[in-house]
Amino acid sequence: MKSSKLVVGAMFALVFMVGFVTMLTGPLAAVVKAQFGASNALSQFGVSANFLAYFFMGVPCGIVLKRKGYKTSALLSVAVGIAGVGLQIAAGFAASFALYVAGAFVAGLSMCMLNVTANPMLDAIGGGGNGGNRLVQFGCTFNSVGGMSAPLILGWLIGGEVAKANVLDALPVQVAAVVFFVVCFAVILRADIPEPHLDPASPPPWRDIAAAFRIRHFALGALAMFLFEPVECGICNMVNLYVTAEGTPAYLGPAVGGILISAYCALMMLGRFCAGLAGARVSARAMVGGASAVAIVLLSLAATVPFATVPVPFTSVALPVSALLMVLCGVCISVMFGGIFHLATEGLGRLVPVASGIVMTLVSGGALLALVGLVTDRFGILSSCWVFAALLAYILFYALGVRPGFDIEGRK
C-alpha cells in the first residue's frame, strides 16, 4: 500500500471521521436540553467540551507529529476516537450529563489529533501553494460528507418529539462510528505513509512555537481560526435550537432540525468540492475573503427580517426565512477552515508540524459557543447571527489585509 493515492485516501477517511463525530455532538444538544432540562447555554457544553479539547491537545500532537511521524499520530488519533465515542455510548446507558460531556471532550482530543495529522499531509502531498489548498479543500469535502451524514441519521433516529428524545437514541450511529474507526486503524497500520516532516532530533518545541508566532501571517491566521470555529458549528447548532424550541412559531421538531443541519453540511460539501476544482486557479485568499463577505450579509438579513416562512416543495413543511438564510451560510463557511489553515501555515517549512498543532489548539475557539448560548438566553436565538457576523468581519480583514512574508513586528 505504497501508492500516494492510498495515502490520500487514508487522509480523506480521517477527515471524514472528524466531520462525522464532531457533528454528532451538535444535534445532541437539543436532546440534552430536553432530557436534562438544560438551558441553551448548558446544552452547548458538549459542543464546547469537544472544542476545548483542541486547546489541550493541539501543540502536544504537533510535537508528536514532528518526532514520531504521521503514521504514529494517525494511529493514536483513531485509538483516542474509539475511547471518546465509547464514553458517549456509556453516557447514554447511564443517562449521565457529566459522562456525555466527558465523552465529547475525549472525542474532541481525537478530532484535534486527526486534524493536525491529516491537513498538513494533504497540503504537503499537493505541493503547497494552490495545489496544496486544492487537496486540502477536497479533504474538507469528505469532512462535510461525514458532517452531513451524522445529524441526518440522528434526526431520523430521534423522530418527531424532542421531549421524548434520549441520548441513547444515538446508539446505532455511535456504534457505526466505532466500527469505522476500527477499520481505519487497520488500514493505516498497513499503509506506508510518507514522513516529510519527521525529525526525531528536533530542537525543544518552545523554540519552534516562539518562531512561528514571530511570523505575522501565522499569528493572525491562528487567531482567525480561533474566531472561526464558533461560527462553523455555531450557525447550524443555532438553526437546530431555533426550529426545535417548543412553543415558538419557528418550531418544526428534531427531525426537521436534523435535516437542516444536514442541508448546511451538504452545502459545505458542495462548496468545498467546487473549491477543490477551482483551487488551482483561485487563491485561498480570494475564496476566504469573498465567502466571509457574503456570509456577513446573509447573517445580517437572518437577524433582521420579520418572521416569515417559505414552503418546501412537495412537503407540508414551511421553513422560517431566517433559518433558511442561516443554512445558506454553509456554502460560505465551506472554504474557510481549509483556506485559513493554508494561509496561516503557508511557507513555514520546518515549522509546519508545530504550527499545525498551534492552529488546531486554537480550534478550541469553538468552546465560545457556550458564551453564544448565554447571549441567546438573554436576547433570543437569532441574536447569535450578530455575534457570528462580527467574528467573520475579522476573518474578512485577515483574508484581504494580511500577506505572508512578514514577521510579527511587520518586517520582511
Q: How far apart are CA 216 and CA 225, in angstroms?
A: 14
Q: What is the pLDDT of residue 363?
A: 79
Which CB contacts under 8 angstroms, 24+ apart, belong to 182-187?
182/82, 184/10, 184/13, 184/14, 184/17, 184/78, 185/75, 185/78, 185/79, 185/82, 187/1, 187/10, 187/13
Closest to 139 measured CA to CA, from 339, 405, 372, 375: 339
299-324 average pLDDT score: 89
Q: What is the pLDDT of residue 408?
A: 40
Q: What is the pLDDT of residue 382?
A: 93
Question: What type of residue sits at position 316?
Answer: S
Q: How far apart are CA 277 and CA 98, in angstroms?
A: 43
228-237 average pLDDT score: 89
Q: What is the pLDDT of residue 200?
A: 67
Q: Which domain holds residue 221?
A: 4-190+201-401
Least confident of 127-131, 249-253, 311-315: 127-131
Residue 410 domain-assigned? no
208-236 average pLDDT score: 88
82-93 average pLDDT score: 86
Q: How far apart are the first and last CA of the chain?
A: 43
Mean per-residue pLDDT of the chain: 81
396-406 average pLDDT score: 78
Share of the chain above pLDDT 70, in %: 87
DSSP, collapsed to helix, strand or coil, labels residue 409 as coil
**How sure is the predictor about 158, in pLDDT bands with cuts at 50, 70 and 90?**
low
**How sure is the predictor about 199, in pLDDT bands with cuts at 50, 70 and 90?**
low
164-185 average pLDDT score: 81
Higher pLDDT, 73 or 389: 389
Q: What is the pLDDT of residue 262?
A: 78
Residue 156 domain-assigned? yes
Residue 110 domain-assigned? yes
Residue 406 domain-assigned? no
Highest mean predicted confidence (pLDDT) among 66-70, 125-129, 309-313, 352-356: 309-313
Highest mean predicted confidence (pLDDT) among 140-149, 168-177, 191-200, 220-229: 220-229
Give yes or no for residue 4 having a pLDDT over 60: yes
Residue 408 domain-assigned? no
Q: What is the pLDDT of residue 18?
A: 79
50-60 average pLDDT score: 81
Task: Provide the number of structural domains found in the chain.
Answer: 1
CA atoms in the 13 A half-sphere facing the CB of 53: 28
DSSP, collapsed to helix, strand or coil, labels residue 221 as helix
- CATH code, domain with 102: 1.20.1250.20
* Tens-place pLDDT, residues 248-279: 888 888 778 878 887 888 898 888 888 878 87
Give yes or no for residue 386 having a pLDDT over 90: yes
Least confident of 59-73, 191-205, 278-292, 366-380: 191-205
Residue 234 domain-assigned? yes
Q: What is the pLDDT of residue 159?
A: 60
Q: What is the pLDDT of residue 393?
A: 96
Residue 214 domain-assigned? yes
Residue 282 domain-assigned? yes
285-308 average pLDDT score: 94
Q: What is the pLDDT of residue 228?
A: 94
Q: How far apart are CA 327 and CA 200, in angstroms?
A: 45
Contact 334, 267 (CB under 8 A): yes
